[in-house]
Every structure is written in C-alpha cells, then in structure tokens.
C-alpha cells in the first residue's frame, strides 16, 4: 500500500551528535557549567544551520526570479502590424 514508507522507522529518533552525547555525559556527571557551554554550542550550530538554509532559499528564489524574467524577456516580440478588426456593422451580414 505505502511502498515508499516501507524502510522508514518512525519509532526511532535520529542519532545524537557528538555534542549532544557530551552534553548528556556532562549532565550525568553533574558538570552544569560544561553542560551550559555545550548547550550554547548546540544552539549556535542550529542557528548557523538555519541562517545558511535561509540564505540558500533566498538565493534560490532570486535565481528563480531571474530565470522567469529572462524567459519573459525572451518571448517573441509582438509585431506592430496585423489585420484590422472589423467594426460591428461590418460583421452583420445580410440584414
């Protein structure tokens, strides 16, 4: 039924990073200053990741806009001449 979800394990959390493991050890040992520093480092890393992803998204959106503008400018120009439209009285035939 849901073949794409076959190998996904929804009951497990992702593996902890090195900093998170060190943080757990510091809390177990009661070293709260080290735990605070590690927590700050983790928060800083998460913030840096969020900022870099936001910058990437912004750059992608700008590139997409430039691409759309280039495609819009690339469209065939409309010719200045053409057939004149008929007036209303010319379209009524045999009245």
Question: What is the Cα 20 distance to its own chain's centre?
Answer: 27
Closest CA to 20 of 45, 3, 1, 2: 45
Q: Going residue by residue through the chain, which has 95 residues, state the pLDDT in tens, using 9 for 90 and above.
A: 566 667 766 666 777 889 889 999 999 999 899 999 999 999 999 999 999 999 999 999 999 999 999 888 877 777 777 777 777 777 766 55
Exposure letters 12-50 (e unless 16+ CB within 10 A, then b): eeeeeeeeeebbeebeeeeeeeebeebbeeeeeeeeeee
């Amino acid at each position: 039924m849901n073949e794409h979800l076959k190998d996904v394990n929804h009951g497990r959390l992702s593996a902890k990073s090195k900093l998170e493991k060190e943080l757990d050890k510091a809390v177990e040992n009661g070293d709260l200053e080290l735990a605070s520093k590690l927590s700050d480092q983790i928060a800083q890393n998460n913030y840096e990741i969020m900022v870099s992803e936001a910058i990437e998204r912004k750059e992608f959106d700008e590139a997409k806009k430039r691409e759309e503008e280039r495609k819009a400018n690339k469209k065939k120009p409309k010719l200045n001449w053409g057939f004149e439209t008929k007036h209303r009285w010319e379209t009524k035939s045999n009245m």
